Every structure is written in structure tokens, then in C-alpha cells.
Amino acid sequence: MNPEQIVRRFCEAAARRDVKELGAYFTDDAVYHNIPVAPVIGREAIEATLAQFLTPATSCEFEMLAVAAAGNVVLTERIDRFTIGGKSIALPVMGTFEVAPDGKIKAWRDYFDMQQFTSQMG
């Protein structure tokens, strides 16, 4: 698979909310950075971070609006949708993924407005 296909599969897998499945997409030393907050480093830390919002969610979808790829870098424009505590959340996100030669994601940076998330959570 090429980097774009890997990222598309990862984003599709988010709907299953299986943190271990999602973690398997990352290198052991990967970096995940939700730009409004501090980055986390390593597969286990990424899984723990994903669990914070996927575990309480009853649904999740990363709706892909646009994708651009150049070499090992994949840019995504998405609407990340969650249902948490009975509330529907739709968060516009720009994401950058860097894929290692072994096909694992070595860096994932998401850019979004935290206020949009918190205001929808109430």
C-alpha cells in the first residue's frame, strides 16, 4: 500500500473505535500532536490518548473531504464526527500524516479549533 492508502485505511478504522487496531498503524516511536495540546510520543501513549475520546464515544467517523499526498506525506481535510454522552460533535480538522518506509505512521498532526470541540460538548 502507498502512504495515501494507509492513511485512508487508518481513518476508516477509526469508526470501529478499537484503540489497539488503530495503534497498530503507528511506529513504536511515532508522534501524535493535536496542535492545541502537547504532543504524545510512542504507540502506547497514542493509544492512551485515542482512548480518552474513543472509549466514551458511541460513534466515530473521520469524514474525508480532501486528500493530498506527496511522497510519504499525506494531508487530509476532514470532519471528525463523534457521539459522546448523547451529544453529536462535528469537528473540522486538517491533518498531516508522515508514513515510514515500513508502512507505519511515524507522525500525525491534527490542526483544529479546541473551542469548537468544547462548545459542542457543552
Could you report the per-residue pLDDT of 68-117, keeping only the tens digit for each? 999 999 999 999 999 988 889 899 999 999 999 999 999 999 998 767 66
Q: 37 phi and psi, to 5 degrees?
A: -125, 175
Q: How far apart are CA 72 and CA 88, in angstroms?
A: 33
Domain CATH number, residue 93: 3.10.450.50
Q: For residue 80, indicate whether it is catalytic.
A: yes
Number of domains in the chain: 1
The structure's pTM equals 0.92
Q: Residue 26: which domain range?
A: 3-121
Q: What is the grid cell recorded at 32?
A: 501524535
Catalytic residue among 28, 80, 102, 113: 80
108-118 pLDDT, tens digit each: 999 987 676 66
Q: For residue 18, indicate whether it is catalytic.
A: no
